[in-house]
């Protein structure tokens, strides 16, 4: 099983200003089920971390940038705060916090900085010393997948290729995503022949979701990639370099019963709040 996870959380969150001027977008709350079965609000990044921890990961690298100190503070256990709440008779409100802190203390956490926003590919490259010569899982810190028993991770990690495995979802308008073209491989997976970032004329409606499994080949592919769409170093272009170099890249689909929560825009954040709450009431899962 993979041991290492890279979580990118260095974006500026400009589409969510002014809220994200001081609060990293990854720290915006979503509704999840608490330890006592009640509905609680947690920062999306915490919910993502806890999902990965519960799946079995223990080594994490967070790629952060300027103005993201709130993330490091949140992931630093504050047992004095817990003691203060318990002395105030509010122990019933601390169970989730205690559980989170115990997970953090049981994990290896590395923090690396992307000094300026130069693209998703560049953010991944900053984690190269953490990754070393091992395969790793890559996640964006602003997306969470509601999936019973984390089945989307099981599918993603079950595929064995020498390049990368991507998570894809069929969408109505794929122009704001990386898009894949592929053919059936084995089971419910695709063999990817082409990927393109934010195409004006999408070659398919299969959009790349920000969960990937990479072999160390991705770092060499990023080094060979030039600046692309938006004047940034695009991870999608690096994946195409892997394909052009003969590496096998596969894709697995997000199932209809799985819910993607994306907090990148005001509209998607509103959807994340309403749909996550509805899913906990049994209206979705």
pLDDT value of position 21: 84
pLDDT of 158? 92
Q: So what's the pLDDT on residue 284? A: 40
Q: What is the pLDDT of residue 283?
A: 45
d(Cα 247, Cα 272) in Å, to the nearest integer? 35
CB 162 within 8 A of CB 135: no
pLDDT, residue 46, reads 96
pTM comes to 0.92
- 3-state secondary structure string across 198-257: CCCCCCCCEEEEEEEEECCHHHHHHHCCCCCHHHCCCHHHHHHHHHHCCCCEEEEECCCC
Burial class from Cβ neighbours inside 10 Å (0-12, 13-18, 19+) for residue 252 reads: buried
Report pLDDT for 58: 96
> Looking at domain 1-146, what is its CATH homologous superfamily?
Spore Coat Polysaccharide Biosynthesis Protein SpsA; Chain A (3.90.550.10)
DSSP, collapsed to helix, strand or coil, labels residue 282 as: coil
Instruction: Give the pLDDT score at 282.
Output: 65
**pLDDT by 10-residue block (mean), the chain, 285 residues:** 90 81 89 82 95 96 86 93 85 84 96 84 92 94 91 93 94 89 85 91 92 94 84 88 93 91 89 84 51
Residues 141, 45 contacting (CB under 8 angstroms): yes
């Amino acid at each position: 099983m993979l041991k290492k996870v890279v979580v990118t959380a260095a974006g500026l969150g400009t589409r969510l200003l002014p809220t994200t001027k001081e609060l990293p977008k990854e720290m915006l709350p979503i509704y999840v089920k608490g330890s006592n079965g009640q509905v609680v609000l947690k920062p999306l990044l915490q919910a993502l971390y806890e999902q990965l921890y519960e799946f079995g990961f223990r080594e994490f690298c967070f790629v952060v940038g300027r103005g993201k100190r709130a993330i490091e503070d949140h992931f630093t256990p504050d047992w004095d705060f817990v003691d203060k709440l318990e002395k105030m008779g509010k122990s019933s409100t601390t169970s989730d916090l205690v559980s989170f802190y115990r997970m953090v203390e049981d994990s290896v956490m590395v923090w690396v900085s992307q000094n300026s926003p130069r693209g998703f590919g560049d953010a991944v490259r900053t984690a190269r010393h953490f990754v070393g010569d091992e395969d790793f899982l890559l996640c964006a810190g602003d997306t969470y997948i509601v999936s019973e028993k984390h089945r989307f991770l099981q599918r993603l990690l079950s595929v064995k290729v020498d390049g990368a495995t991507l998570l894809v979802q069929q969408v109505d308008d794929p122009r704001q995503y990386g898009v894949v073209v592929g053919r059936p491989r084995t089971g419910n997976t695709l063999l990817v022949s082409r990927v393109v970032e934010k195409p004006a004329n999408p070659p398919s409606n299969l959009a790349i979701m920000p969960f990937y499994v990479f072999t160390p080949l991705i770092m060499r592919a990023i080094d060979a990639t030039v600046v692309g769409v938006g004047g940034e170093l695009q991870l999608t272009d690096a994946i195409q370099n892997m394909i052009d170099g003969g590496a096998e890249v596969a894709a697995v689909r997000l199932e209809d019963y799985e819910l993607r929560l994306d907090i990148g825009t005001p509209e998607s954040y509103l959807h994340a709040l309403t749909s996550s709450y509805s899913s906990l009431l049994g209206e979705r899962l």
